[in-house]
Amino acid sequence: MTDAHAILSEIGFGPTYFVQGRASVADLFNPGKRCGIYVLHFATGEYYVGQAIDVTRRYVQHCRNHTDIQRINFKPVRADLLNEIERATIEAFERRGFELRNIALTSIPKGESDFDLVLSDRDQTIWLNNPDVFHLEGSRPVDPDLRRKYARHYARLMGKPAAEEAILVLREYVRTGIPACRAGEISFWSCSCLPQGSNREIAVYSRINVYWQEVFTAFLSNGDLRFSWHIARSPLEHAFGKPLRRLMKSYPDVEIFDHRYAPGGQDQINLEARGAATALKLLKDTTILYATRLFNLRLMKKGPCAFGRYHCMSLADRLID
């Protein structure tokens, strides 16, 4: 593993200050030059990368939640560049294998998780690396109130153009790309039905949500059925090359966007497929399936789904049973 101090120096951070036991770091950073990115070093060997308009105030806030801060590094950054530099710094630490306490913006969860109680680590690894292994066993949750709440949404969906095609693709995605899709329903993944946010040009049929973000969306755009999903980028770059030109050549009806949601971290890319046939072909591609599974498993290990209250049980019947 590369020394953290060398990496910090390489990407433009200032000196490392020993701050264990300090109530404040106000004397270390001049007023008017406290906006930037900071890195906290913990006694456990972990790190935390964050952004602050005033690093001295942010340090005090962290001290209330973490009693084992030992050192701090800081890099002055303009306010309009904070998000960009924070993401780049987190990516640099993850790429070199350092353990971060960050949850948002990181790709790789650390330690035990609630999802491990639903599906063991061993079974997660088997599922991830074997495209012919599925998790369709177990009982589903029973929630009469939730079922009633979105039953009308499902009835309206079935009257929409190409609804059956959309459900066919959604079903393939959930059954092949979601680990423990029955046992983890509501708690670790959810599906919405005709969620709010549609307009005249785009009608969202359903979103599959994991942890704090959408991972797969079926929608009608100007009369065309389309599917958008976020998956891990690194397996695609390994298989198709870093510019992903071979992927675009293999799937001309697929668009690639460098779009990320913070919960999914840096190892993330957005694909958009036109038509059910193209989407199903993608889902049967072993590289795409692996990238889908890797991304969803990482998110599920980060924590429970935040969108369970929008789960449409009637639609889920079609996707799982």
- pLDDT 10s per residue in the chain (321 long)? 358 888 898 899 999 999 999 999 999 999 999 999 999 999 999 999 999 999 999 999 999 989 999 999 999 999 999 988 998 898 888 888 888 888 776 766 666 789 999 999 999 999 999 999 998 888 899 999 999 999 999 999 999 999 999 999 999 999 999 999 999 999 999 999 999 765 667 899 999 999 999 999 999 998 899 999 999 999 999 999 888 989 999 999 999 999 999 899 889 999 999 999 999 999 999 999 999 999 999 999 999 999 999 999 999 999 998
Q: Residue 239 pairs with which residues in a beta bridge?
A: none
Distance from C-alpha of 24 to C-alpha of 59, rounded to nearest angstrom: 7
Tell whether 271 is covered by a domain.
Answer: yes
One domain, residues 169 and 234:
yes
One domain, residues 216 and 174:
yes
One domain, residues 168 and 67:
no
Tell whether 230 is covered by a domain.
Answer: yes
One domain, residues 207 and 70:
no
One domain, residues 57 and 131:
no
One domain, residues 218 and 298:
yes
Distance from C-alpha of 321 to C-alpha of 310, rounded to nearest angstrom: 19
80, 95, 110 — which closes off a domain? 95
One domain, residues 41 and 138:
no
Tell whether 114 is covered by a domain.
Answer: no
One domain, residues 90 and 125:
no
Query: Per the structure, how many domains does the chain have?
Result: 2
Non-local (6+) Cβ contacts of 158 within 8 A are none
Tell whether 248 is covered by a domain.
Answer: yes
Tell whether 116 is covered by a domain.
Answer: no
Distance from C-alpha of 150 to C-alpha of 287, rounded to nearest angstrom: 35
Tell whether 158 is covered by a domain.
Answer: yes
For 102-150, the pLDDT digits (tens) are: 877 676 666 678 999 999 999 999 999 999 999 888 889 999 999 999 9
Confirm if 104 and 303 have CB atoms less than 8 A apart: no
Q: Residue 69 pairs with which residues in a beta bridge?
A: 42
Residues of the domain holding 90? 4-95
For 176-211, the pLDDT digits (tens) are: 999 999 999 999 999 999 997 656 678 999 999 999
Among the listed residues 27, 36, 78, the one whose alpha carbon sits nearest the alpha carbon of residue 55: 36
**Using only C-alpha atoms, what is the Rg of the chain?**
22
One domain, residues 53 and 134:
no
51-to-34, 110, 238 alpha-carbon distances in Å: 10, 21, 31
Confirm if 174 and 319 have CB atoms less than 8 A apart: yes
Tell whether 108 is covered by a domain.
Answer: no
What pLDDT score does 198 carry? 57
Tell whether 197 is covered by a domain.
Answer: yes
What pLDDT score does 1 carry? 39
One domain, residues 154 and 221:
yes
One domain, residues 279 and 135:
yes
